[in-house]
Structure 1
Amino acid sequence: MLSKCSATRLATPPGYKPRNVFTPQNNRLQELPYNELSRLSGLRTLDLHSNLISSEGLPDEAFESLNQLENFYVAHNKLSVAPQFLPRSLRVADLAANEVVEIFPLTFGEKPALRSVYLHNNRLRNTGLPPNTFHGSEAVTTLSLSSNQLRYLPPSLPASLERLHLQNNLISKVPRGALSLQTQLRELYLQHNQLTDSSLDASTFSKLSSLEYLDLSHNQLATVPEGLPATLTILHLGRNCIRHVDAVRLHRARGLRYLLLQHNKLEASALPAGTLRPLRTLHTLHLYGNRLEHVPPALPRHLQALVMPHNRVAALGARDLVSARALAELNLAYNRLASARVHPGAFRRLRALRSLDLAGNQLSRLPEGLPASLRSLRLQRNQLRTLEPEQLAGLNKLRELNLAHNRLRVGDIGPGTWHELQALQVLDLGHNELSFVPPDLPETLEELHLQANRISHVGPEAFLSTPRLRALFLRANRLHMTSITAEAFQGLAHLRVVDTAENPEQVLVPLPPKGKEP
């Protein structure tokens, strides 16, 4: 029953003129007084979302006079079944986040103007969807059935669909021909289901002549599906059981720009030479979390991002990356790379490379031949013991350098090491073995991480070379109240953050007044 407050809100005052929008959302309504709605014959939008309305509280009679209704929002309520008869004028229906177990033929059927239907987060099974659910509704472009209890792809889906959401169900079968009429479908979401190779066949996707985005991640596929359409630009196959990629399966999908194969079971021979070569427009390749022992051979020449951390790559040869000269991002973090097995010319020809991540390997020195185009270099969690000027020579565009969690000491950083880094803004030297602030740091530096070192003293000249410093992290060192010379921070007009927590004694550093910043 309606509370007194709700009833007052819904009451129709004398002389009331019908309006186009009725929105008693975010209340605690339990039922809809259809006798009141009967006076709103010109209503175009009915917004009831986030109430407590049950199916009993939303009788079919409520819609008898709403023959101009276009937008019906009843998400986040307590409906157990959908209304049996919705107006023929309907364009958008949102019944998401209810407890719906059944749809009726005329709930969405015979609605020529219907464009979008949202049924996600309900309790629908296939038995609750009649075969003629969308009969006579030939303009539906968006259908969301995600997070229900469907076990197979529903039949008789609208041929007009452009976006179909079926993720987070129990789908283990796609009946033959279930997608044969959906030639306008551009996005298909089937992730988080129970699909296996036997769930699909060569015709499952082959008729989808407009498909651009296909998400099959978090299933149980052992191979790349057959019959991928030529229009496909994004293929998401992460979190499956794929052990081998057959070049023939990718042959038709030559327009792929993003291929995501992370967290599968790809091993050394999973991507033989030539497998990826037909993908001439491939922009991004995700391979992280597999068992690969080397970089895939013959990478597409226009590839811009290769992401393969958490594999077993132990070596980089001179020509392993030579075919991918357009690479802008290369992530080989948390592999097994050792300095002795990284060829001096491995990165030399990557003249467009902007980001290189080699964190979590076994490198004892910086790689040689780093390209001058680098903006970000991540080398944390290695075994670096020395830094020499020659190793950073030419990196005058580098903005971020992460050397945390290594074994660096100030005495092992050669004089002039930082001189080449004329654009460096962020330097992370945390979790090393530094006993004082390294001298002659780059003038452009804005953020300096020195936490968890062995620093026990900060002298008056510590930051003379870094007048633009904004953030300084000295936490968990060996500082005492008298360890920091007050003059050390004079001239740092931009300084806004100083972290000195977790030292043996509390150390306070006065910050310059904000109004004094140039």
Structure 2
Amino acid sequence: MRLNLILALSFLACLNFSLANDQRRPLARGRRRGVGPKRARKQTSNTALQQGRTAESNAQDGSIFIESYKEPKPNYEVTAAKSEHCIFRGITMYDKTVWSPKPCVNCLCSSGEMVCDRILCPALRCHLKFQPIGECCPICIDPVVDAPDFSGDPPSPIDLGDPYTEISQSQRDKKERLKQDEEERIRKKDAERKQRKKQKKEEAERQKKLKEAKEAREKEEELRRLREEEEERAAAEERKRRMEEQRRVEEDRARRLEMEQREMIRAMEEAAERAKEGLRGDEAAEDEDMVWLRGDVFQMPPVPPTRAANSPSLLALQEPTEPVEEDRELGEEETDVVEEDSEMVTTLLPPGCSISDVTVTCENAKLTGIPPLSIPELKSLSLQGNEIKTIPAGAFNGIPNLEWIDLGKNKIVSSGIDPQTFKGLKFLSRLYMDGNLLEQIPSELPPTLQELKINENNLKEIEENSFEGLSSLVTLEMEGNLLSEGNVNPQAFKPLKELNYLRLGRNHFRTIPQGLPASLLELYLENNLIEDISETAFNNTTNIHVVVLRHNKLDESSIAPLAWINHRNLESVDLSHNNFYLVPSFLPKSLVHLVLAGNQIERIPGYVFAHMEPGLEYLYLSYNKLDGDAIEPESFFGTFNTMTELCLDHNQLTSIPMGINEMTGLHFLRLNNNKIRHISEDAICDPSNDDDSHLVALRLENNFLDPRKIPPTAFSCVRSYSSVVLKPQRIK
């Protein structure tokens, strides 16, 4: 009996244990299959095992692949670790870490154990199936798709402690982060667009202010110029008035002297008549009277040379005798009159000379020396085109108030100029000595000099003290000489504190001269041999406005990147007739006027003008080799709002360059003498632009255009169709 009871209890315990195992297996399978087909198609971290496949174990990785959950007993092995970390292929995985060692396989590190599952794909009831690239499960592409059928028990509620629930949650968090990142990117893009719009508006306002400031400056300069002209006109009128008064005074004095001479001649004739008709006395008395008469005639003042033609001729006189005291006193008074009018003799000028106002002109008069003049009021003296070789020390003593001297086109040599020649001219401001034979700068020039021209000479050297004392010099021209960087002392320009304008063209410079003054505004170096512009060439001339380097040997590699890019005042650069094949980079930021005509330019690189502020206004690229591929869409970037005049004539363009229709301020456009065959409707004028017409002149002659095939609205932005030049065209 007792044995039967023990057997019954044992059977009951085994039955309960079997039922408990059967209840736990569906729960585990439900946990792993608690994800629907929708999440399986989205390639989530669903950890359900694929049905019908056996577990795979990788002994090297330490990972375990679990068989289908439909089996009554899971067939997988767990590799236990000594700690909560897992080691996968030499990599330490922390607890709860999920990774995918193979496609469609997910692994989990749980309490030091690695569990790997294949993704379970749902059974699809559709005819057409498709497996997207990168997806583990196929999807239906039928118009109507039946809901997939999962065999097995319904999934049980998700256990918060299940690691695959955490995988799904991490993917949801990742999607949420991606969504937030996308929203943040959109917000940033909107902010950047608003910022660009704001910057564009500010740029437009700044351009407007700059334009207004420029107009105000031009108006102020115009007013100043008018005021200066008015002052000069007033000064000229004042000088003319003074000269007129002086002339009237001289004429009155000459008239008075002439009347006095006539009165004296009449008195002499009357005395002679009385002597003939008077009583005859003794011989001594007669002799005494005769002596007195002759003495009176002798003491008469001589007739001035200027009035000799109009004065009555005097009778021939015999040799005078010694006059009496009364006659001597009278003679002293007449001598004063002679000294008072001796200046009139100096008004006699050499043949070929003329005087006007305060200017004496002796041009091409075949003079061999400085004429001896004594006219203190003289301001200007022109001796151009003579044969003067030397200038002595006292050449200008009689005209000390000279302000301007022109000695051009003579034969003056440096050794023929006395060092003291110009020293006494305290008001000299302009000295022209072009076309002579000078080899050195004249010494001891007055400090009042403001303009010095020594073009077309034989200058071979400029020493350190050549311009000593010329602190007021504003303009210096030395073109057409024998100067180079080897014979010009870098310290020579140091005394020129006010020099603004320097011309050194037609010399032999290979580099930019050193030691240029900081006050320089305009530099002309055309027709030299310049082939290099170093980074330090313009370091001292930060105020320079204009640089002319045409007809040299420069190319795009000759200009150092930092030679002038940071200059804020350099507005005009002339690089025409050099050896450029590309529009040079690193041009000055403040550049407004650029001349590149007569080069070999084949391409305009993109963004080459983008760094300029406010932007380029005048661009001359005539007589180059630009063709259909020479201009990129970004070539004119940075000039769309500022370009005023664009010259692309005499090139090889086959169509209208891109970007011209975006130039809202373009007034003059030259495209003549190219190979253009067609003009599209929006190539020159933008139809979407509702602003007023801005093009003033458009030249398209000497191309291959058929005027009948040009669209009617192609020139809608031109103010007047009469300003469009289309004829003649070349024969096709």
TM-score by length of 1: 0.70
Q: Deviations over 1:300-327 (max 9, x none)?
A: 0010000111100000000111111110
Report what 1:36 is aligned to: none
Give the alignment partner of residue 447 of structure 2, picking from 230, 242, 256.
Answer: 230
Counterpart Cα distance in 2 of 1:491 and 1:210? 57
Query: Within 5 Å, which residues of 2 pair with 1:97-496?
Result: 110-111=343-344, 123=352, 141-180=358-397, 182-395=399-612, 396-421=614-639, 422-441=641-660, 442-465=663-686, 467-496=693-722
Q: Which amino acid aligns with 2:380?
A: R
Conserved? CA contact 1:470–1:495, under 8 Å: no
Counterpart Cα distance in 2 of 1:162 and 1:231? 14
Q: Which amino acid aligns with 1:431?
A: H
Conserved? CA contact 1:479–1:505, under 8 Å: no
Q: Give the superposition deviation at 1:487.
A: 2.6
Report what 1:24 is aligned to: none
- 1:86 to 1:502, Cα distance in 2 relative to 1, 3 A: farther
Q: Which amino acid aligns with 1:148?
A: A
Counterpart Cα distance in 2 of 1:315 and 1:181? 51
Q: Which amino acid aligns with 1:405?
A: Y
- 1:161 to 1:410, Cα distance in 2 relative to 1, 3 A: same
Q: Give the superposition deviation at 1:65.
A: 10
Counterpart Cα distance in 1 of 2:589 and 2:307? 67
Q: Which amino acid aligns with 1:458?
A: I
Question: SS of the counterpart of 1:198?
Answer: helix
Q: Give the superposition deviation at 1:211.
A: 1.0
Q: Deviations over 1:120-178 (max 9, x none)?
A: 9x636xxxx9xxxx9xxxx9843222231211001243344322121122211212311
Counterpart Cα distance in 2 of 1:153 and 1:398? 52
Query: Within 5 Å, which residues of 2 pair with 1:501-516?
Result: 501-504=727-730
Q: Which amino acid aligns with 1:460?
A: E
- 1:258 to 1:405, Cα distance in 2 relative to 1, 3 A: same
Q: Give the superposition deviation at 1:372.
A: 2.9
Conserved? CA contact 1:228–1:249, under 8 Å: no
Give the alignment partner of residue 85 of structure 1, picking from 296, 304, 307.
Answer: 307
Q: Give the superposition deviation at 1:486.
A: 2.8
Conserved? CA contact 1:446–1:471, under 8 Å: yes
Q: Give the superposition deviation at 1:500.
A: 2.5
Counterpart Cα distance in 2 of 1:166 and 1:491? 56
Q: Give the superposition deviation at 1:481.
A: 4.0
Counterpart Cα distance in 1 of 2:653 and 2:530? 31
Q: Deviations over 1:432-480 (max 9, x none)?
A: 1110111221111111111111111122222224941111111221223
Conserved? CA contact 1:272–1:296, under 8 Å: no
Counterpart Cα distance in 2 of 1:337 and 1:407? 17
Counterpart Cα distance in 2 of 1:203 and 1:217? 20
Question: SS of the counterpart of 1:164?
Answer: strand
Report what 1:516 is aligned to: none
Find out whether 1:498 has 2:498 as its counterpart.
Answer: no
Counterpart Cα distance in 1 of 2:683 and 2:649? 16
- 1:474 to 1:86, Cα distance in 2 relative to 1, 3 A: farther
- 1:493 to 1:123, Cα distance in 2 relative to 1, 3 A: closer
Counterpart Cα distance in 2 of 1:483 and 1:180? 78
Counterpart Cα distance in 2 of 1:327 and 1:245? 22
- 1:491 to 1:332, Cα distance in 2 relative to 1, 3 A: closer
TM-score by length of 2: 0.51
Runs (5+) with no aligned partner, structure 1: 1-43, 46-62, 68-82, 89-104, 507-518
- 1:182 to 1:64, Cα distance in 2 relative to 1, 3 A: closer
Counterpart Cα distance in 1 of 2:343 and 2:399? 19
Q: Deviations over 1:463-511 (max 9, x none)?
A: 22494111111122122343433331234234542222342269xxxxx
Q: Give the superposition deviation at 1:242.
A: 1.1
* Range with bigger deviation, 459-468 or 216-225: 459-468
Counterpart Cα distance in 2 of 1:415 and 1:204? 64
Q: Deviations over 1:222-274 (max 9, x none)?
A: 11111111111100001111122122121121221100001112133132211
Q: Give the superposition deviation at 1:199.
A: 2.1
Counterpart Cα distance in 2 of 1:457 and 1:258? 51
- 1:243 to 1:468, Cα distance in 2 relative to 1, 3 A: same
Counterpart Cα distance in 1 of 2:642 and 2:412? 50
* Range with bigger deviation, 436-445 or 280-289: 436-445
Report what 2:22 is aligned to: none
- 1:185 to 1:86, Cα distance in 2 relative to 1, 3 A: farther
- 1:231 to 1:310, Cα distance in 2 relative to 1, 3 A: same
- 1:282 to 1:170, Cα distance in 2 relative to 1, 3 A: same
Counterpart Cα distance in 1 of 2:349 and 2:534? 52
Find the structure with the greater CA-based Rg. Answer: 2
Question: SS of the counterpart of 2:698?
Answer: strand
Counterpart Cα distance in 2 of 1:266 and 1:502? 47
Counterpart Cα distance in 1 of 2:717 and 2:576? 34
Counterpart Cα distance in 2 of 1:464 and 1:481? 17
Q: Which has the higher helix share?
A: 2
- 1:86 to 1:468, Cα distance in 2 relative to 1, 3 A: farther
What RMSD, in angstroms, separates the aligned Cα atoms of the two structures? 3.3
Q: Deviations over 1:391-413 (max 9, x none)?
A: 10133332210011112224221
Count of paired positions: 399
Counterpart Cα distance in 1 of 2:398 and 2:445? 16
